[in-house]
Amino acid sequence: MDALTDHYETVRERNDFEPVDGAVGPVPAGERRRFVAVDDEAVFGGTDGADGTDRADRSGTLVATGVGMTGPPHLGTVGQFLTAVALQEAGLDVQFVLADLEPYHGGAPLDRVRSLAERYRAFALDLGFDPDRGRLRTQSEARDVMHTGQLLAPYYDPDAWGGEDDADGDSPDGDPPPTEWERAVREAYGAAEGDRGPGTAAVARSGATSEAADAHSAVLHGVDFLHPLYAGEYERLVLQFGIDEHHLTGMARRFRDAAPVDGDVAGLYTRMLPGFDGTPKMAKSIPGSGVSLAMDSEEIRERIAGDEGGDPATSPVFQAMCLASRYDADRLGRLESACESGGEEWERAKTEYAEFVVELAERWRATGD
């Protein structure tokens, strides 16, 4: 078993998550390849009808997700947007937060962050996000959420951000040992930081981060999730992120339990994208690991063409196809076989996917400079 697949298994076992082998509530089985775990599937609703298929009350359920913005989107970001669109197409309301205040609290210039947020908004709409089926917003424009943040701040506990979660969303004593994949990711980040030199940040900074900014950012992050429950807009909240951020669900539950907030909270977690050239993860701050939409067309084509196939679980391109594409389940099944064989069919598949990504890059460039 490869390190990333083993990591998925370990996280599911430690937290009593279920794998996603078929439909999850209203999320159809055809989307199952996007996801690797579900935390508290009952929140999606019970069963209804003779076939026993889950029929969640979509009107009372909100899916909450979002992205940080430290530069142009990469394939993982594209995957988050397309997953949000797929969930809307399944009949769910989706809140997508463009986290602009978090980098600002970290020292990024406000004008740069706002400009980038507007490009992200335009790109999300271009990819098919429907603002009438939820909400596409920045943090800075949501004054109602900021107000809720002030009201819920007395209930915020910094410890709510720590540790692995058990099945009840509680943080156990001590941190479990890192998985092989987690160790590899930490080493890759450490090597990248060393290459940049000490004290170099991935995002240009205009000043030092303060303790107040850290606290405000943390409270706002939690309230981004809880505000729809606190305001009575929804009864159930499903947090949808990459599985490396599954701890956010436990954090949201603990914040909810401490504050005057009612409603169920579940988690639905997408796969991680293994990086190119043997890197464990596609990430902006790990050089050579991913595909950014800021790359020129030939660089995108060359990087995707370099995936020779073999094990689909370790193929950056096939894993990206599962998350950051519009392929249906049948097509992905055929692509999986092509990846395993590594023959001409895989070469054709890579070429087609490269052109899809090149088009995405052109659409991103069209949003501005």
One pLDDT digit (tens) per residue for the chain, 369 residues: 699 999 999 999 999 999 999 999 899 999 999 999 999 999 886 444 334 444 445 779 999 999 988 889 999 999 999 999 999 999 999 999 999 999 999 899 999 999 999 999 999 999 999 999 999 999 999 999 999 999 999 999 887 555 444 434 444 446 789 999 999 999 999 988 775 443 333 333 334 478 899 889 999 999 999 999 999 999 999 999 999 999 999 999 999 999 999 999 999 999 999 999 999 999 888 999 999 999 999 999 999 999 999 999 999 999 999 999 999 999 999 999 999 999 999 999 999 999 999 999 999 999 986
What does pTM read for this prediction? Answer: 0.90
Gap between the terminal Cα atoms of the chain: 43
Tokens representing residue 239 in the block: 């947090």
Where are any strands of DSSP class E within the chain?
Answer: 35-39, 61-68, 93-99, 134-138, 236-242, 264-270
Secondary structure (3-state) at 79:
helix
Q: Domains in the chain, please, with CATH?
A: 3-270 (3.40.50.620), 291-365 (no CATH)
Neighbouring residues of 187: CB distance < 8 A, sequence distance ≥ 6: none
Q: Are 129 and 168 in contact (CB under 8 A)?
A: no
Q: Are 253 and 265 in contact (CB under 8 A)?
A: yes
Tokens representing residue 187 in the block: 């080493």
Work out the burial of residue 28: count CB atoms within 10 Å of its CB; fewer than 13 is exposed, 13-18 middle, 19 or more buried.
Answer: middle
Separation of CA 152 from chain center: 25
Q: Are 37 and 16 in contact (CB under 8 A)?
A: no
- Residue 23 CA to residue 31 CA, distance in Å, equals 8
Give the CA count within 13 Å in the CB-facing half-sphere of 55. 7
